[in-house]
Chain A
Amino acid sequence: MILQKLTVKNFRQFRGEHTLDFATSPEQNVTLILGYNTFGKSALLNAVNFALYGEVQPDFDEAEDLLNHAAATTRENQVEVRLRFEFQQREYEVTRKRIYNFLGNSRKTAIDEVSMAEIKRQSGSRVGVPHYQRLINRAIPPQMAPNFIFHGEKRVSLFASRGTHKQVSDAIRNILGCNVIEAAIKDLLLITKKLDRNIARESGDEQIKLFQNSIERFEQLIEENRRMIREKEEFIEASKIEITQLEQQLRDHDQTKQLQSELEHAKAKRQTAEVARLGAQKEIHRWIRESAALVCSAALSEAALDAIDEEEFRGRIPSDFQDSFIQGLLDAKVCICARSLEKGGEAWTAVEALLTQGGRKDVTDIALKVKATADRYSRSIAKARSEVGIYEDRVRSLDKEWNAANRDIEELNARLRGTNLEVLAEKARKRENLEEQMGTLQRQIGDLDRKIRVDLEPELQKVRGEYTRRIRSKPEMEKRRITLGLVEQLGAFLVEQMEVYESQAREKVLALTNQNLASMHRDKEAFFDGKFNLSLRDKVTKLQSGKSTGEAQLLVLAFTSALIHFCSVREADENEFLVPGTVAPLVLDAPFGQLDTLFQAGAISWIPRMARQVILFVSDSQARILQESPEIMDKVGACYALQIPHGEKMVLPYSIRGASVPSLNDRADSSTSIVRVW
């Protein structure tokens, strides 16, 4: 199955109609949808689930209320989701509507309407598909869907809990398509009980009836005890998950402290940048004061020298010394040597030549002095210019530092908002209580289990033996007995078959999980412990890792990827007892929130390879991590951002691949909108 287009109308945050076209090509198989928390990422993931199966996922908040609140206030009462997809080279569109009936102000009931059409590729005409659910269930069997459509961080919580055998076992059985075989085993057990009752009734033998009653009583008691064990185990499982989530929140508490310290660090950094920038600016001001005059002088001197150097002015620079003084001397009638200075005479001509020569020399000396000063200025100005260049660069770099620190501060403030330390202390107390309760429950389970094994089961076997012997003594019951034996034999065969399939599948999935882990450049490997809990350990030392959220995340990615691969390999499986596998899209919300930076790059680059089509819902901070990975960015065929109206929340714009997309829109109504980034 390839998802092509999703349209939502009045679905949760989305008022009116909004459409997403998914990336469908094998070369660019990733669709990226950016959205801050509460902007509607989970709503869109659940819209896909709703379109396919008529229900949202069990962990979706306020699942019964799908209608957009703003739409409800205007008495619009219809939610609609349309999903267009390709399956086995044909195109289909399924449309689900939930129509609410308002009862007073708060209560409402709902009915669902569903239709599906095949869209003919050549003509575009639509042909109704009557058995739509059958077709969808073949495309992605519902029990397999949670491995394709899920919230990454929630799934990680399951795997980060202390025991994962139930999650692993359920996931493997579901992806293996064991549900028909399980249903058959359950039905054969019901038929066995019915046949037992019939034999007792038809035999007319009071002893057989008594045995039958005893068997039923023991079976009921065993079942009752098992039910109690299951309930307690489920409570323990739920407690483990809750404890994991609490521990995560408590770690977040530590992270809160860390965030606070990071915030203080960022503020100090911004302050330092600010002070340093002021210092650099002061230096520029000082330079203006001290060196600006120098620059002007140098410029003027250069201009003057250029003029002196010009050929046509040489020797013709106007000067009192040259013009008035020489003229005064020449106006004298007698030379100091007492010769007559008659104008045009020999002595006058000789004196004029000497004086002109002497005047020129003085002017030349002055010019040389000016030139030397100008050269000095030139050298100073070069130094001054380089000095101001350094200050300018410094101011620019400090501006960048300041902006980066400021961005960090805004982001850290956003993350710190909503942290309540008292609530966290309460969570710590709750965790202790849950752990205590779990201990009590484990002891109770042990008692119940012992009661079943030591008391009830041996008694049941004893009565069964008596019952069988008694029936065998009655030839008229032979036919019934043969049928009963047949049903029991068949049930035992199917149980054995399922165990074989499950064991083989477990081995294959483990091998694939390890292949995936190896591709993520880890020194870890996955393994099953004695109780089939899936964990990580060091490849060399074989020491089991602690259950950090980051490692659970890595394990989930590798394990889920293995399940998807295993499922696609089983697409053509013709095993008569199992539901065939499928090639389905991976629709993943919050895929790698807690990945350690050490292996983040390897794990992220793995995501496009997890399925034929990948639809990722990510926060802005996750998008920033993603854009560092060309392996994934080159695979993104479509990118969308979710926007909310102005004034609802102040958040930073999205930034991806250098493009900045506002996170707030200007629409007046209270609805998230979907913007295509590329």
Chain B
Amino acid sequence: MPILTPSELKNLAKRVVDLEKESMYGDEESEDQRLSMIERLMIEESRRLNPQ
């Protein structure tokens, strides 16, 4: 289990929620697109945590 500091965790959660907000109240966007964007964000973050 990766250890994120509370502020890192909050920041990451905020970015995910922003993507949800954008999808919900922004221009139309498919569910698949939104899931891919969140997944990409998670992969990027795990790379940052474990660069090897």
Contacts and interface: CB of A to CB of B under 8 A. Distances in A.
Contact of A184 (B9, B16, B46, B49): B16
A516 to B, nearest CB: 31
Interface stretch (A107-115, A289-297, A480-488): A480-488
B46 A482 contact: yes
B12 A490 contact: yes
> Helix, strand, loop or mixed for chain A's interface?
helix
A191 B13 contact: no
Contacts, number: 84
Contacts of B12: 486, 490
A194 B42 CA distance: 13
Given A179-B24, A493-B9, A576-B17, A483 B46 contact: yes
B13 A490 contact: yes
A487 B17 contact: no
A252 B4 CA distance: 61
Given A478-B50, A488-B1, A493-B13, A183 B20 contact: yes
B29 to A, nearest CB: 12
Contacts of A493: 9-10, 13
A188 interface: yes
Contact of B2 (A184, A190, A489, A494): A489
A189 B28 CA distance: 22
Contacts of B9: 489-490, 493
Interface residues of A, number: 31
Interface residues of B, number: 30
A627 to B, nearest CB: 42
Given A489-B1, A490-B16, A188 B24 contact: no
A329 interface: no
Interface of B: 1-2, 4, 9-10, 12-14, 16-21, 23-27, 34-35, 38-39, 42-43, 45-47, 49-50
8 contacts: A194-B35, A482-B49, A486-B4, A486-B12, A486-B42, A494-B13, A497-B13, A576-B17
Interface of A: 131, 134, 137-138, 179-181, 183-184, 187-188, 190-191, 194-195, 478-479, 482-483, 485-490, 493-494, 497, 576-577, 579
Nearest first, the 7 closest Cβ-Cβ pairs linking A and B are: A483-B46, A485-B1, A482-B46, A180-B20, A576-B14, A183-B20, A184-B20
